[in-house]
């Protein structure tokens, strides 16, 4: 994984803004949303690809807006991992 992608850290203010701006989308996925396993896997892969595209395209010049999108995709990716673990149990 790209080192830049691992280093994306947001301030508390940016986290609050991200949470407020993307609350509907993230809550739709993190709730009791029912999807087949393959759709959770597809969404997880999509999130990985999109975050990596942002990092690759901007070559270490990430502004706060781009960081918020990376955080959004990373959050959805974590939700997918959780949902896939839950399904496997």
Residues of the chain with pLDDT under 50: 1, 4
Q: How many domains does the chain have?
A: 1
Structure tokens at 85: 């673990």
- The per-residue pLDDT for 28 is 59
Percent helix, strand, coil in the chain, to 5, is: 80, 0, 20
* Residue-number span of the structural domain to which 59 is assigned: 10-88
Residue 70 in any domain: the answer is yes
Residue 1 lies in a domain: no
pTM of the shown model: 0.62
What pLDDT does residue 14 have?
A: 60
């Amino acid at each position: 994984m790209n080192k830049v992608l691992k280093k994306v850290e947001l301030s508390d203010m940016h986290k609050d803004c991200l949470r407020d701006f993307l609350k509907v989308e993230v809550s739709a996925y993190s709730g009791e949303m029912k999807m087949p396993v393959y759709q959770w896997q597809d969404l997880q892969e999509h999130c990985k690809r999109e975050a990596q595209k942002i990092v690759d395209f901007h070559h270490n010049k990430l502004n706060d807006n781009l960081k918020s999108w990376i955080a959004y995709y990373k959050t959805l990716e974590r939700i997918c991992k959780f949902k896939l673990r839950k399904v496997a149990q």
